[in-house]
Structure 1
Amino acid sequence: MPDRIPAVLILGTRGIPAAHGGFETFAERFARYLAVRGWCVGVYCQREVKRVGTRISSRVWNGIELITVEVGLKGPAATLAFDAFCAWDAARRGGVCLVLGYNGAAFLPYLRASGGRILTNMDGIEWRRPKWSRPIRAYFYVSEWIAAWSSHRLVADHPAIADHLATRRPRRAITTIPYGGDPPSDEIAPPPLGLEAGRYLVSIARIEPDNNILTIVEAFSRRPRGVRLVVLGTMCVHNRYHRAVEEAASPEVLFPGPIYEPDQVQALRIHALAYLHGHSVGGTNPSLVEALWAGNAVIAHANPFNRGTAGDAQFYFKDVDSCAVAIEQVLDEAEAVAHARAAARRRAEDFRWGDVLAAYEDEVRRVGGYPPAERVKVPFAEPIGATAGASG
């Protein structure tokens, strides 16, 4: 094979610098990692405008081409239009297309037919989320199949996701690479919001039924606890589920809304007595990985995704009763909490960004037909502050 500069295009996020969540954080980290290693890297970025001026433009940022697509729409229609123009533009550029999620899977057959080499991170099992209406769930179900068969290879971020994808494609087409995390910085700020270290529990998640926020709040609020429960995430008075969560809360529950300052989110984790994680659908959740790196004792919904990520040393629940029991264990059993904290730190070693990014580079090289990479430690940006106070 003649020598050529390896090239990758990253599709499926709203863009970088990261400001929205897990996929954007990964896209920024991976793009910067590859740029340092001599790759030609492009990342598609969505810009919603009242009137489209220049449909597609680009600029260079930290050695990465930011390909901005202007969309004169709002909401889901804007996302679909963005995905369509990204696929159209990527088909003309060449290189490997790393697609994050399958929301825009309808355009992948065109991309592949145009010669695109496609590696898709299939994310969670979106069509199982109860928050979606039946038509939307049907759309995601079909999109999952389209993405599975339009992509040259699939990435699962959790063994349970890989098992699910194996019902769509042969296992030889699937690789498992988890989400990454970082050790906490040496300088930790005091707890925000006037909280006292070790005197509160924290939940960081979107306030949605499949994240079991109502279950957590009801379990905590059954009786006075002598500590606070901090529930980060956007609350909307017009949302029926949000109202139910708020009505179920005791005076010891605090709803500060989302927090976007990384140092405050890190301090909130580090100083918490335990982290509550109610996610029931998905793979390796970024917020749970960050809790492990923070050395949190974890109270998590009992499902294969969470158990496979956090391990057996943590506390698990299935309903309000078992969640209340887990909370009482954390409040009453200091030795069990210390054991869970130590186990979390050990478990976090399985989710180092360096290993995750190197594994992704190997897969992109495989899909693109590039020669294997030399494994070296590459200096790149310090932890990126993109995780908002509500994740997954």
Structure 2
Amino acid sequence: MKSLYILGTRGIPARHGGFETFAEKLSLYLVSKGWSVTLYCQEDGNGRSWESDWCGIRRIHIPINRKGAVGTVLFDWLATRDALSQDGLFLTLGYNTAIFNLLQRLKGQTNVINMDGIEWRRDKWGPIAKTWFWLNERAGCWIGNHLVADHPKIKEHLATRVSSDKITMIPYGGDEVLSADPARLEPYGVEPGQFSVIIARPEPENSFLEMVRAFSCKPRRHKLVVLGNFTPELNPYHRQVIDAASDEVIFPGAIYEAAVVQALRFYSRFYLHGHRVGGTNPSLVEALGAGCAVIAHDNHFNRWVAGPDAAYFKDEAACSELFDLMLTDDAAVKRMKSASRKRFQERFTWEQVLREYEDLLTRWYPTK
């Protein structure tokens, strides 16, 4: 039986983000194929680690009494230290603490690293954090036995560090949504087709301010639902976004109930995606899977994922112009929705993605 150990996520079942969802999907898939899968989980608290079984997956729970980035770094260190005593293949999701994986390389363990996005380019990080991420990206490229890039442009970027033969491109996956409960919309006062939606972390590089201003510059006779964890009393950027919004913009906060998020995507007129940095973003893939008509920031990351039939904007003025043109163009919306489903089926189903991961991990499984 092949044994895989997964590092770099906060744990499963998924509650936090894209990597956790991927880790859950991959673990369940591999277990169904006869693999033994162990995954490290970060827990709040003190004391010794413990183990549990979830759907046939072995989980090693490591309690951490620190919050934020410091707690994550400590968890990664303790998980890597424990992994040194294990036998099998290792998959590390993210390179943020890749320097720790040097110990595995020195011990002769085989470690495949998913290099995620170009974290050090994100606006939200200060100079110290950007330097840390830049150094760990370099370290991950050297230390990993093989690398996974989730986007062709990420592979091109990594190939400036190491040979492209050391990198396999496998994108993120998503679930197809063919129906949703319209009653889930009622708490937000919106009706199918009469609103558009933004679902992302409210950070500058995700273009929240530009999109909200573009929508709010004139009456639209339409609603814009902006999902995200806004703390305007603590975050000046969040305050800017909220102050820029017209009374047609709704801020329901962060919503983690999958059925609600699916309904908001499925029944939206447009899904707005303002990400300027990153590879294959999970939220954009999920929008394609829900058949959303996509309006996205114009960059090579988004264009490869959403395809030529999405609508793109370079700046606030261009985004506003798209609203002017497309809020009344039903034929264009229908065409865009159909193109999103086609693009999703071409490249982003979990069946495709997980099969490609199994093939890669099988090729890299250590032989003794």
Q: Please give the TM-score of this superposition, normalised by the length of structure 1.
A: 0.91
Aligned residues: 364
Of 350, 353, 359, which aligns to 2:356? 359
* Equivalent residue for 1:310, pick from 306, 313, 320: 306
CA distance in 2, matches of 1:139, 1:311: 33
Q: 1:81 to 1:183 in 2, by over 3 A?
A: same
Give the corresponding residue for 1:319. 315
Indicate the larger mover: 177-186 or 150-159.
Answer: 177-186
**Cα deviations by residue, 1:253-311 (Å, 9 ceiling, x for unpaired):** 10000111111111111110000000111111111011111111111000111000000
Secondary structure (helix, strand or coil) at the match of 1:339 reads helix
> Which residue is equivalent to 1:29?
25
8 Å contact 2:180–2:263 — kept in the other structure?
no
In structure 2, the residue matched to 1:100 is 93
Q: Quote the residue 1:198 is aligned against.
A: 193
Question: Take 1:151 and 1:329, find their aligned partners in 2: how far apart are those partners?
Answer: 48
Deviates more, 1:180-189 or 1:113-122: 180-189
Match of 1:387 in 2: none
Q: Deviations over 1:192-219 (max 9, x none)?
A: 4121111111000000000000000000
Q: 2:334 aligns with which of 327, 338, 346?
A: 338
Could you tell me how far 1:333 is from its partner in structure 2? 1.8
Gaps of 5+ in 2: none
2: distance between equivalents of 1:140 and 1:300? 26
Match of 1:374 in 2: none
Distance apart, 1:189 and its partner CA: 3.5
Tell me if the contact between 1:189 and 1:263 (Cα under 8 Å) persists in the aligned partners.
Answer: no
Write the letter of the residue equivalent to 1:15.
G
- Report the AA paired with residue 53 of structure 1: G
State whether residues 274 and 330 of structure 1, in contact with CA within 8 Å, keep that contact through their aligned partners in structure 2.
Answer: no
Check if 1:232 corresponds to 2:243: no
1:129 maps to 2:94? no
State the identity as a percent: 48
Deviation at 1:77, TM superposition (A): 1.5
Task: Look up the SS of the partner of 1:168 in the other structure.
Answer: coil
- Aligned partners of 1:220 and 1:327 also within 8 Å: yes
Structure 1 Cα separation of the partners of residues 296 and 28 of structure 2: 33
2: CA distance between counterparts of 1:27 and 1:109? 22
**Counterpart secondary structure, 1:93:** coil
Deviation at 1:187, TM superposition (A): 4.9
Please say if 1:245 is aligned against 2:238. Answer: no
Pair 1:59 & 2:59 matched: no
Q: Are residues 363 and 289 of structure 1, via their aligned partners in 2, closer, same or farther at CA, if it must alter by over 3 Å?
A: same
State the SS of the aligned residue for 1:92. coil
Match among 186, 192, 208 for residue 213 of structure 1: 208
Deviations 1:38-95 (A, max 9, x none): 111000000121xx221x2211111110011112222211111111111111111021
Q: CA deviation at 1:151?
A: 0.2
The equivalent residue for 1:254 is 250
| Aligned equivalents of 1:26, 1:98: Cα separation in 2 | 12
Q: Deviations over 1:163-202 (max 9, x none)?
A: 1010111000000101111211545343241211111110
Per the alignment, residue 110 of structure 1 pairs with: 103
Corresponding residue for residue 77 of structure 1: 70
1:384 equivalent in structure 2: none
Root-mean-square deviation (CA), in Å?
Answer: 1.3
| Counterpart position of 1:274 | 270
Question: Which gives a bigger RCO, structure 1 or 2 (Cα 8 Å, sep 6+)?
Answer: 1
**Secondary structure of the residue that 1:260 maps to in structure 2?**
coil
1:363 shift after superposition: 1.2
> 1:293 is matched with which residue: 289, 294, 300?
289
How far did residue 37 of structure 1 move? Answer: 1.1
Residue aligning to 1:168 = 161
- Counterpart CA distance in 2 for 1:170 and 1:327 is 43
Counterpart of 2:173 in structure 1 is 180
Amino acid at match of 2:219: P
Where do 4+ consecutive residues of structure 1 move more than 3 Å? Answer: 185-190
Residues 60 and 66, structure 1, Cα contact 8 Å, conserved in 2: yes
